[in-house]
Amino acid sequence: MPRTIAVMTALLIAASSAAVAADVPPQRQAELRYLLKHDCGSCHGMRLEGGLGPALTARRLAPYGVDFLALTIIQGRPGTPMPPWRPFISEPEAQWLATQLKQGIRP
Amino acid sequence: MRLMRYLLSALLLYSGQASAECLTRGTGDMGIVIERAAGSVQVVDRRAHRALFRIEGLGDLSHASAVYSPDERYAYIFGRDGGLTRLDILCGTITHRIVQGGNSIGGAISQDGNLIAVSNYEPGGVKVFAASDLRLVADIPATPVNSEKRSKTVGLVDAGEQRFVYSLYDTGETWILDMSDPANPVIQKHEKIGQLPYDALITRDGRYYIAGLFGQDGLALLDLWHPERGTRLILEDYGKGEQKLPVYKMPHLEGWAMAGNRAFLPGVGHHQVLVVERGEWNTLAKIPVYGQPVFVMARPDGRQIWVNFAFPDNDTIQVIDTETLKVVKTLKPGKGALHMEFAPRGEEVWISIRDKDEVQVYDTRKLQLTHTLPVAKPSGIFFTARAHTTGL
């Protein structure tokens, strides 16, 4: 039974991230990857291994949910240098980015 | 026939290597350009506007910076991944390379040129190495933040009398590290300088150390002629009552421009360059500019200020006349105009244009593009004249 649940969850996650990816056209995905490397990279490190901001590796982000991370990207963290990206990144795009980060993307 | 060809190609290969042997020339008109994505560096001839060598294998060079030995022959490159590399720019080779920390942010060379200090985010602290062979001389951990983590160190500069000065991001401190006796480093700590210092600069004469604060208004100033007086907040009222904009790239203070008795600095969270009077440190003027400034740099004669901007305005450079305090030119060099470096006497400025994979050279009198050099994802540009300037 736990096994079925795990499989179901895995399927659900796969399905939801596929849905998210479908919302973000490939051209835009490439732009976001470039942004992640160079513009997020100026604080998080070009390899996302950390800088002034924390590392955004899959291992470090494991405790956080995609929604929470997407919200951080959209709203920023007031009182810290993490700026709100709302003017440049839509919510589905933030979801896509957060999913990529959770999956360990290396831009 | 085949043997002939083999011999010929072997000969060619050999002569290729021979020509890659060391140059016999002065280095005063040379420099390096960081290729941040490729982990490589180009050694350039700044007057001929061409590359002399390309040196690979330097690791993660995002945010990399460099200092020079007093003889202008060796460049020390500080990589993001904790790499510290000593290059021989006459030979185009790596003489020494170590990975000294997990995640680092810049370094400095001591007044006498014998010590290299590196500032680390992870694990937070400063390490000092022998300039000759990168042997560890001192390891100075920063204040712990919790059981696992120590404060990040930022804004490391060299000061007179064999001192290094730096700040602690998480705990809001400035430390003076006296390396007069390398076996017995002496640390003087200034606590509670302000919230979240993120970068700092030292004035050219080595007297004032100024840390930018992210967590509050103002900057923390330390007079190194009188460190016993401690730090004081300056420009506390700057930006009061004005809506602060989100900051998409932290401004750099290293390039802080002094022109005569005035300092020009980036207005954090504002589309402004601040003009401040040295000594009293009052705001004299706010110059409206195109975006949020990152580097605000004075042409060496102090007549012009060149400014680049944070994302999403990093396709633009503006030039300010220091007499009229007006923007006299807006340039559109291309997206990702990241770094500027003046020829030591100011006739030219070199600008890295990341998204075009090129470095552009401008005539600062005509404010016109004169040369371009192909460089893969260029960031920092460092000319050898830095060898003789405190804080660079």
The Cα-based distances of B213 to A46, B145, B173 in angstroms read 24, 18, 11
If you average pLDDT over every residue of chain A, what do you get? Answer: 83
User: pLDDT per residue over B336-367, tens digit each?
Assistant: 999 999 999 999 999 999 999 999 999 999 99
The Cα-based distances of B353 to A34, B35, B297, B380, B391 in angstroms read 15, 11, 17, 10, 25
Domains parsed from chain B with CATH numbers = 111-234 (2.130.10.10), 244-332 (2.40.10.480)
Average pLDDT over residues B79-93: 95
Q: State residue B45's pLDDT score.
A: 98
Residue type, A43: C
pTM for this predicted structure:
0.88
Flag whether A74 is in a domain.
yes
Flag whether A33 is in a domain.
yes
Flag whether A60 is in a domain.
yes
CA distance B169 to chain A (A): 9
Q: Facing residues of B373 across strands?
A: B359
Best mutation site among B40, B99, B105, B122 for testing chain A: the one with the most A CBs within 10 Å? B122
Flag whether A12 is in a domain.
yes
Q: State residue B118's pLDDT score.
A: 96
Of B122, B311, B312, the CB nearest to A50: B122
Closest CA to B309 of B284, B283, B282, B327: B327
How does residue A70 score in pLDDT terms, banded at 50, 70 and 90?
A: very high
Strand order in the sheet with B50-55: B50-55, B40-45, B30-35, B378-383
Best mutation site among B62, B103, B352 for testing chain A: the one with the most A CBs within 10 Å? B62
pLDDT: which is higher, A46 or B133: B133
Question: Whole-angstrom Cα distance, residue B77 to residue B357?
Answer: 21
If you average pLDDT over every residue of chain B, what do you get? Answer: 91
Q: Does B62 touch chain A (CB under 8 A)?
A: yes
Q: Which tokens in the block code for residue B240?
A: 């009061």
From chain B, the residues in CB contact with A88 under 8 A are 312
pLDDT above 80 (res B3)? no
Question: Whole-angstrom Cα distance, residue B288 to residue B310?
Answer: 15
From chain A, the residues in CB contact with B214 under 8 A are 80-81
Average pLDDT over residues B299-311: 94
Contact B228, B182 (CB under 8 A): no
**Cβ–Cβ below 8 Å for B80 and A45:** yes
Question: Whole-angstrom Cα distance, residue B326 to residue B305?
Answer: 10
**Cβ–Cβ below 8 Å for A49 and B250:** no
CA A45 to chain centre: 15
User: pLDDT per residue over B229-239, tens digit each?
Assistant: 999 999 887 76
Q: Is B30 exposed, middle or buried (0-12, 13-18, 19+ CB in 10 A)?
A: buried
Q: What are phi and psi of B311, to 5 degrees?
A: -50, 140
Lowest mean pLDDT among B187-191, B282-286, B318-322, B341-345: B282-286
Rounded to 10 deg, the angle between the A91-102 and A2-23 helix axes is 130
Which residue range(s) make up the domain with A93? Answer: 2-102
Flag whether A107 is in a domain.
no
Q: State residue B324's pLDDT score.
A: 96
Average pLDDT over residues B27-41: 95
User: pLDDT per residue over B150-205, tens digit each?
Assistant: 999 999 999 999 999 999 999 999 999 999 999 999 999 999 999 999 999 998 88
Q: What is the DSSP string of chain A?
A: -HHHHHHHHHHHHHHHHHHHHHHS-HHHHHHHHHHIIIIIHHHH-TTSS-SSSPP--HHHHTTS-HHHHHHHHHH--TTSS----TTT--HHHHHHHHHHHHTT---
Of A37, A45, A88, the CB nearest to B103: A45
Question: Whole-angstrom Cα distance, residue A101 to residue A75?
Answer: 17
Q: What is the CATH number of the domain that holds A68?
A: 1.10.760.10
Q: State residue A87's pLDDT score.
A: 93
Of A46, A79, A88, the CB nearest to B62: A46
Per-window interface: B 91-150 vs A, CB < 8 A = 103, 105, 121-122
Number of domains in chain A: 1
Question: Whole-angstrom Cα distance, residue B364 to residue B170?
Answer: 40
CA distance B18 to chain A (A): 36
Average pLDDT over residues A13-32: 70
Q: Does B311 touch chain A (CB under 8 A)?
A: yes
Q: What percent of chain A has pLDDT over 70?
A: 79
* Pairing state between β B93-99 and B83-88: antiparallel
**Neighbouring C-alpha atoms within 13 Å toward the C-beta of A20:** 21
**Cβ–Cβ below 8 Å for B80 and A52:** no
Question: Whole-angstrom Cα distance, residue B350 to residue B341?
Answer: 5
Contact B171, B134 (CB under 8 A): no
CA A11 to chain centre: 19
Q: What is the dihedral of CA B196, B313, B371, B375, to 10 degrees?
A: 60
Q: Which tokens in the block code for residue B308?
A: 């680049």
User: pLDDT per residue over A42-65, tens digit each?
Assistant: 899 888 988 889 999 999 999 999
Average pLDDT over residues B9-37: 73
**Cβ–Cβ below 8 Å for A38 and B354:** yes
Question: Whole-angstrom Cα distance, residue B319 to residue B333?
Answer: 13
Closest CA to B254 of B49, B5, B67, B53: B67
The Cα-based distances of B91 to B21, B27, B173, B225, B249 in angstroms read 6, 11, 41, 40, 35
Closest CA to B284 of B261, B307, B257: B261
**Neighbouring C-alpha atoms within 13 Å toward the C-beta of B191:** 3
Flag whether A47 is in a domain.
yes
Q: State residue A22's pLDDT score.
A: 58
Residue type, B326: K
Q: State residue B9's pLDDT score.
A: 46
Q: Which tokens in the block code for residue A2?
A: 């736990």
Question: Whole-angstrom Cα distance, residue B358 to residue B355?
Answer: 8
pLDDT above 50 (res B298)? yes
**Cβ–Cβ below 8 Å for B103 and A39:** no
pLDDT: which is higher, B267 or B29: B29
Flag whether A10 is in a domain.
yes
Q: Which tokens in the block code for residue B26?
A: 């002065």
